[in-house]
Amino acid sequence: LGPEATIEQLPIGQLNNSGFQQLPYDIEPSQTLILDITKTEDELLAQTHKKWRYNIRLAQKKGVQVKVTSCDDVNFEHYFEEFYRLVSEGTAERKNIKHHQKEYYKKQLEITSPQPSPSKGEGEILNPPTPLSKARAKLSFGGAGGLNFQELLFVAEYEGKVIAANIVVIFGSRATYLHGATSSEHREVMAPHLLQWEQIKFAKAQGCAEYDFWGIVNEHTLDRRGKSWEGLTRFKRGFGGKEKNFVGYWDYSLNKPWYFLYRLVQKFRR
């Protein structure tokens, strides 16, 4: 059981009293950071940390370009390979970070790819600004108007080379930053800050009300995930937002002896 309920909405004591047992780890992050993007772009930029604002402008000044692409774009394969290269390099450098197989990311993007559009080409440049409201078609589910559901690959290029790339999913009124990777090269141009900022602006232009940074560590985190998540958490907090703490993952045992053995095996497997 992993309900989308915060610790305020569903007190942990209530779950304990009902016979549920909390898992000592998360399947998906139970602590996250949600940014309200109904505000104006100026307001959103103003609430970011001053160093983050400086880094965003520095990346723009240095000529970092951000592009958005999906499976039916001409150059998608190139950008996807660059994304996975960065993911693999990052894992090699930071041994306590694990990543999925290449096909996992590929299938995610393929299943939720936006409907084909005649205007699509090599990946749309988001800075300098373009008409973002027309940048991508929306998948239609459940009748007239449909539901905005798409998963996109954003890349930051510097001097013709991809140095940062993220996957973002848009579902209804929420955009979620799912996966990210950054090169160890050209860190001085601050590409990740501009990339994240352009993703936020894109989500806002698509009609989203929230931007979910999806995964931080704080005092409620059971599975600490190592020091690497501390740096990632600081980076995300620099953009503002409100922390949400979900109740996590719980089991309900129908056979306590067998469940005890199951948990024991799981402990050693981890």
SS (H, E, C) the chain: CCCCCECCCCCHHHHHHCCEEECCCCCCCCEEEEEECCCCHHHHHHHCCHHHHHHHHHHHHHCCEEEEECCCCCCHHHHHHHHHHHHHHHHHHCCCCCCCCHHHHHHHHHHCCCCCCCCCCCCEECCCCCCHHHCCCCCCCCCCCCCCEEEEEEEEEECCEEEEEEEEEEECCEEEEEEEEECCCCHHHCHHHHHHHHHHHHHHHCCCCEEECCCCCCCCCCCCCCCHHHHHHHHHHCCCCEEEEECCCEEECCCHHHHHHHHHHHHHHC
| pLDDT at position 159 over 90 | yes
- Domain span including residue 140: 40-213
For residue 256, what pLDDT is reported?
82
Q: What is the pLDDT of residue 187?
A: 95
Query: Can you give the pLDDT at residue 263?
Result: 77
Q: What is the pLDDT of residues 178-216, one digit of tens each?
A: 999 999 999 999 999 999 999 999 999 999 999 999 888
Its pTM surpasses 0.75: yes
* Domain-located, residue 7: no
pLDDT level of residue 129 (50, 70, 90 thresholds): very low
In the chain, % of residues over pLDDT 90:
48
Give the pLDDT confidence of 80-115 residue by residue, as tens digits.
999 999 999 875 565 456 788 899 999 989 887 655
Residue-wise pLDDT tens digits, 217-247? 887 776 655 546 788 899 999 999 999 888 7
Residue positions counted in the chain: 270
Residue 186 lies in a domain: yes
In a domain, residue 149? The reply is: yes
Confidence of residue 133 (pLDDT cuts 50, 70, 90): very low
Q: Is the pLDDT of residue 137 over 70?
A: no
Instruction: Report the pLDDT value the prediction gives residue 86, as an integer from 0 to 100.
Output: 95
The answer to the question of residue 262 being in a domain is no
pLDDT in tens, 7-35: 777 777 777 778 888 777 776 787 889 99
Q: How many domains would you assign to the chain? A: 1
What's the confidence (pLDDT) of residue 40? 97
Computed over every residue of the chain, the mean pLDDT equals 82
In a domain, 141, yes or no: yes
pLDDT of residue 260: 78
| Confidence (pLDDT) at 248 | 76
pLDDT of residue 167 exceeding 60: yes
In a domain, 61, yes or no: yes
Most confident of 73-77, 195-199, 257-261: 195-199
Domain at 126, CATH number:
3.40.630.30
Question: Is 244 part of a structural domain of the chain?
Answer: no
Q: Is residue 17 part of a domain?
A: no
